[in-house]
Structure 1
Amino acid sequence: MGEFPTVTDVARVAGVSRQTVSNVMNTPGIVKADTRARVEAAITALGYRPHASARRLRTRRSSTIGIRLDPMIDGISGSVLDRFLHALTEQADARGLRVLLFTATSPEDEIDQFRRLNDGADVDGFVLTSTTADDPRTAWLLEHDIAFVTFGRPWQENDFTDPSHLWVDVDGHAGLYAATRAQQDAGARRIAYLGWPSPSGTGDDRRRGWHEAMLERGDVSAEELARLEVVTTDGVDQGAAAMRQLARTAGGIDAVLCASDALALGAMIANPARVSVTGYDNTPIAAAIGLSSVDQPVDEVAAGVLELLTGEFEGQVSHAPDSASPRYRMVTPRLITRQFEAIPRDSVPANALVDEVSR
């Protein structure tokens, strides 16, 4: 506990939620007598005295949402989160809400920022991105009964039937399934896939879309299908190397699908045969070079996040009202098909082409 007790401290000692503490201080008539007595006893025992920022939190007047500003990656992979942040800020403003940005160097550092902003009543809730299985950030927010929604599912078996927290995600399985079907309908049989190492919730989800569509069509054997897949870390150079590996080991291929636009750009560079390439994320680079790509509709994601954070659930699962509404939103991506216009240049380093396209 810090030098001065907070609403969180009172809630913990009384064994209730922060909202219940707020109700006791603002509308005590709606709280059961025994619960109200426990909260009042905790307030007395801790010597809690609300200050101005705490009063804003009790009445939800901060009207502010906290979200970490992700570090720049390579200008390609990070563009989706940049677009999401733009959409979230614009839609929040339309609802009379503000977005407070903060930085963090690690999950632990981000949790420290949660604690600081929450104790100071600077925000009403948080939006998280880049979720992982057993994410320590979501565990901390749930433990401290703080409102939040994630862009990215919890990656647990009960995500849909009994989610551990509120979330919005893009259906990567559906995106790659549709991209594979589009190539098959165009006559492609041997469709390769460049993906990320497993376990990767997002990457595994996208791979399943390709794999399922290929198995259903049955154009290649299981042995051939295994040769049509290359696993690599994300990046343009990695995509080019993976494409060259396919040329050595997979035999003839009709099309290539990729887990990201960065991998797809690399595949286009190392592609003298001009095999059709499809990426994922629909970044500005994809539009600039004529790369087909699966688009993540971040406007819909932002709308879903704000709906779950400010609507009937108010960013909570454990204290949410009984409702038939799902405690998540799954957004369906769109395949954007473009004419393949890029000129393969094996002699040009991948990063040089990225710089040229970005100018």
Structure 2
Amino acid sequence: MSRLPTVHDVARAAGVSRQTVSNVLNSPGIVREDTRERVRKAIDDLGYRPHASARRLRTQKSSTIGIRLDPMVDGISGSILDRFLHALTEQADAVGLRILLFTAARPEDEIRQFGRLIDGSDVDAFVLTSTFHGDPRTEWLIEHGQTFVTFGRPWGIDDMNDPRHAWVDVDGRAGVRAATESLLERGHKRIGFLGWPTGSGTGDERAGGWRDAMVAAGLGDGLVSLLETAVDTVADAREASARLVENGGGLDAVVAASDSLALGAVVQTNGALPVIGFDNTPVSAAMGFSSVDQRLDEVAAGVLDLLTHNEGTVPRHRLVTPELVLRSSHPPVVPDER
């Protein structure tokens, strides 16, 4: 097997010292541009790759991002975080970063994991998912001076615009509003909303998008009868959908806060009503109902951008506009002219 090129080989090929090669790799700003170009050409020509462990010892950086692996829920909503992790890992690798996954059952357990990983110098930064009202993880990381970005806004606390708390989120309100408007444009008026129990920041935002569209269309009266909530499972969604049909008074379409809830509505109504979900999971594609895509590639790109740029160089908060993916085969409503 041929010998791998070393820093000595690069230095010799570029006609510089080993220290200059090290400076180009670790502190390029202190090296003249023509010298940097010469060293980088030698690196490319030789196919040299710095030894990760040795570089870590020199720079005290692991080039590693820590993120908790959330437990699988029901195979539908859980796939969203799986897709986000895949996008984040793929994009991180492209810029020379690695993802370290760890598990934790509760926020308190996750905080203990933070301490363990920091003490071992195992990671340089963290990505947090599943943010919620009063999330203690962000406060702990800020107090300990750690770099982090959350996928999700800091619901219910005072640092929504704090530059120390960088976050990327999907504009669920805009996504559900677009979904509801698309049904209104097709002539539907009794559009029900199937959401999560009040208190979920993400769920409340999505319900707000439905309400905004209905009020703007002059259909704001009686919305209480068109709203039902359920835990994010298909079984609970079926029960909530039955209540929605019973109380909705001529319900003719449904918008749901997730694909799990949307699937429950589709099953309960035997596909008789147009249903639009949220998350654009493989389930929505397989069942043929419309859904709102979170554009997770863009979310992952935003997270990495915030992690790799110093505070003050880029906006510390990103709100990604989702995309409505229409699949419904239901025709527009034909007005009764009698």
Q: TM-score, normalised by structure 2?
A: 0.78
Which runs of structure 2 are paired with 1:130-169 in the superposition (5 Å)?
130-156=130-156, 161-162=161-162, 165-169=165-169
Q: Find the aligned partners of 1:157 and 1:101 in 2 and give their Cα distance.
A: 27
Point out where structure 2 has 5 or more consecutive residues left out of the alignment: 1-25, 28-52, 331-338
2:302 maps to what in 1? 304
Q: How many residues align?
A: 281
Q: Find the aligned partners of 1:337 and 1:62 in 2 and give their Cα distance.
A: 43
Q: Considering only CA atoms, is the larger Rg found in Structure 1 or Structure 2?
A: 2
Q: Find the aligned partners of 2:160 and 2:227 in 1 and give their Cα distance.
A: 29
Instruction: Tell whether the 8 Å contact from 1:191 to 1:256 is kept in structure 2 after alignment.
Output: yes
Instruction: Tell whether the 8 Å contact from 2:237 to 2:265 is kept in structure 1 after alignment.
Output: yes
Q: Indicate yes or no: 2:52 matched with 1:63.
A: no
Point out where structure 1 has 5 or more consecutive residues left out of the alignment: 1-25, 28-52, 314-321, 342-359
Deviation per residue, 1:238-273 (Å, 9 max, x gap): 111111112211110121000110110010011147
SS at match of 1:149: strand
2:175 maps to what in 1? 175
1:37 maps to what in 2? none
Instruction: Tell whether the 8 Å contact from 1:153 to 1:159 is kept in structure 2 after alignment.
Output: no
Change in Cα spacing, 1:218 to 1:110, as seen in structure 2 (3 Å) is same
Instruction: Tell whether the 8 Å contact from 2:238 to 2:264 is kept in structure 1 after alignment.
Output: yes
SS at match of 2:219: coil
Which runs of structure 2 are paired with 1:200-279 in the superposition (5 Å)?
200-219=200-219, 221=221, 224-272=222-270, 274-279=272-277
Instruction: Tell whether the 8 Å contact from 2:253 to 2:275 is kept in structure 1 after alignment.
Output: yes
Identity %: 60
Q: Find the aligned partners of 2:56 and 2:111 in 1 and give their Cα distance.
A: 22
Q: Indicate yes or no: 2:328 matched with 1:330.
A: no
Amino acid at match of 1:228: L
What is the Cα deviation at residue 114 of structure 1? 0.5
Instruction: Tell whether the 8 Å contact from 2:63 to 2:97 is kept in structure 1 after alignment.
Output: yes
Change in Cα spacing, 1:274 to 1:159, as seen in structure 2 (3 Å) is farther
SS at match of 1:194: strand
Q: Find the aligned partners of 2:180 and 2:218 in 1 and give their Cα distance.
A: 13
1:18 maps to what in 2? none
SS at match of 1:76: coil
SS at match of 2:155: coil
1:76 maps to what in 2? 76
1:90 maps to what in 2? 90
Instruction: Tell whether the 8 Å contact from 1:189 to 1:220 is kept in structure 2 after alignment.
Output: no
Instruction: Tell whether the 8 Å contact from 1:193 to 1:258 is kept in structure 2 after alignment.
Output: yes
Change in Cα spacing, 1:109 to 1:260, as seen in structure 2 (3 Å) is same
1:316 maps to what in 2? none
Q: Which runs of 4+ in 1 moved over 2 A?
A: 55-61, 156-164
Change in Cα spacing, 1:230 to 1:58, as seen in structure 2 (3 Å) is farther
Instruction: Tell whether the 8 Å contact from 1:67 to 1:128 is kept in structure 2 after alignment.
Output: yes
Instruction: Tell whether the 8 Å contact from 2:193 to 2:226 is kept in structure 1 after alignment.
Output: yes
SS at match of 1:264: helix
Which runs of structure 2 are paired with 1:287-298 in the superposition (5 Å)?
287-298=285-296
Instruction: Tell whether the 8 Å contact from 2:152 to 2:169 is kept in structure 1 after alignment.
Output: yes
Amino acid at match of 1:118: I
2:109 maps to what in 1? 109
Q: TM-score, normalised by structure 1?
A: 0.74
Deviation per residue, 1:303-352 (Å, 9 max, x gap): 00000001123xxxxxxxx45x42111100000110349xxxxxxxxxxx
What is the Cα deviation at residue 56 of structure 1? 3.6
Amino acid at match of 2:291: S
Change in Cα spacing, 1:273 to 1:198, as seen in structure 2 (3 Å) is same
Amino acid at match of 1:225: L
SS at match of 1:146: coil
What is the Cα deviation at residue 158 of structure 1? 5.8
Q: Find the aligned partners of 1:151 and 1:187 in 2 and give their Cα distance.
A: 36
Q: Find the aligned partners of 2:174 and 2:86 in 1 and give their Cα distance.
A: 25
